[in-house]
Every structure is written in C-alpha cells, then in structure tokens.
Amino acid sequence: GRLASFVHRWESLTSDPVVLEAVRGYMIPFTVAPPARPSCNQPTFSRLISLACDEKINRLLRKGAIYMVDPSVDQFLSTFFLIEKLSASAFDVIRQRFGQFEIDLFASILNAKCERYLSWFPDPGAWAVDAFTITWNSVFFYAFPPFILITRVLRKIVDESAEGVVVVPW
C-alpha cells in the first residue's frame, strides 16, 4: 500500500524488523496456486470518457493515492476496492442547494467531496477514522454512506440532533 512509500522515513526512526515489515507490507505466499481467472475483454470507451478517466488517473497518481505497476503473471486483481461515488456534477448540485459542507463523513482519499473527511479504514489524508466514533451535531456534514449503514446513520442523526445531507438510493 501507500505506507510502503514512506519506508525510508520509518527506517530513520526504527530498526525494529517487525515494524519495518509492517510498513513494507506483508507478503502472504499461496500454499497452492490460485485458480485461473477468466480473461476479460477490454472495454471500449468513447474518446471523451477515455480522456476523463485519464485525467482522474493522473490526479490520483499525482496525489500518491495510486501508483503504476508492471503487469505480472501472478498479479491478483480484485473489485473489492471499488467504491460507490457520487458524480462531481451531482455533488455540485447538492452543494449549491445546501451550501458548503464542513466534513465528508464516509470517504477515502479516492472519493472525498470535502477537504476534511472521515474514512472507514486508516487513510493518510483522513481527519479521523470511523464516523460513528465522533459526534456529528457540531458540524454541517455531507454523507454518502455504504448502503448497509443507512439505518445506523439515520439513527445517529436523530439521537444527536445533527444536521447535514445524506445521499441515499431512491
């Protein structure tokens, strides 16, 4: 992960092999070869969509949120990290209607809509981890929570008399 980018800084702080191994990332060897994955056809996109994708990829590369890797035979590809994300134009409509938000409660470095955001997992740019561990009644928030958490989010809003905008499927 991204933490490995800072291993040289950690090496100046400690020589503890356990800490440095954690920073570099764990290598978990397979006991048997993973099953072959069916090959996927490359999707084709319009020139406009390709340019938009390239722009977003380059922005994430500049931020250090992602990095280029060479393809390899033993690579593991997963859709686990795909995150629901509201389009920028839809968010702009929400912001024009409700005003500037102080914090995005359910975000990551990849999809944050506010400069200050909370993430579900440790994230180098996050203000804090786990929105349910802080009080919401002192900030005007934006929230696009994972769908499974909507009931819990609404309960917290009611319990704390919090004010903000929650995006939910309709």
SS (H, E, C) 46-100: CHHHHHHHHHHHHHHHHHCCCCCCCCCCCCCCCCCCCCCCCCHHHHHHHHHHHCC
pLDDT the model gives residue 165: 96
Q: Among 17-26, 37-46, 122-131, whose mean pLDDT is lowest?
A: 37-46
pLDDT tens-place string over residues 77-104: 654 444 556 777 888 999 999 999 999 9
Asked whether the beta carbons of 126 and 118 are under 8 A apart, the reply is yes
| CA–CA distances in Å: residue 148 to residues 77, 145, 152 | 25, 8, 8
Determine the average pLDDT of the residues in 47-56.
82
pLDDT of residue 58: 86
pLDDT at 80: 45
More confident site: 85 or 53: 53
Stated as kind and residue range, the H or E segment containing 129 is: strand 128-129
**Torsion, Cα of 6, 11, 16, 19 (10° steps):** 0
Q: What is the pLDDT of residue 42?
A: 61
pLDDT over 90 (residue 73): no
The structural domains of the chain, with segments of one domain joined by +, span 1-31, 34-82, 88-166
Please compute the mean of the pLDDT values over residues 62-80 and round it to a whole number. 69
Q: Could you read off the pLDDT of 126-153 as tens digits, one per residue? A: 999 999 999 999 999 999 998 888 999 9
User: Is the Cβ–Cβ distance between 104 and 113 less than 8 Å?
Assistant: yes
Q: Higher-confidence residue: 107 or 80?
A: 107
CA distance 11 to 124: 19
The pLDDT, as a whole number, for residue 26 is 63
Measured CA to CA, the distance from residue 147 to residue 161 in angstroms comes to 21
How does residue 43 score in pLDDT terms, banded at 50, 70 and 90?
A: low
At 14, the amino acid letter reads: T
Other beta carbons within 10 angstroms of residue 43's beta carbon come to: 6
Q: Residue type at 11? A: E
Q: 164 vs 24, 89, 137, 144, CA distance in Å?
A: 39, 19, 9, 11
Give 66's pLDDT tier (boundaries 50, 70, 90): confident
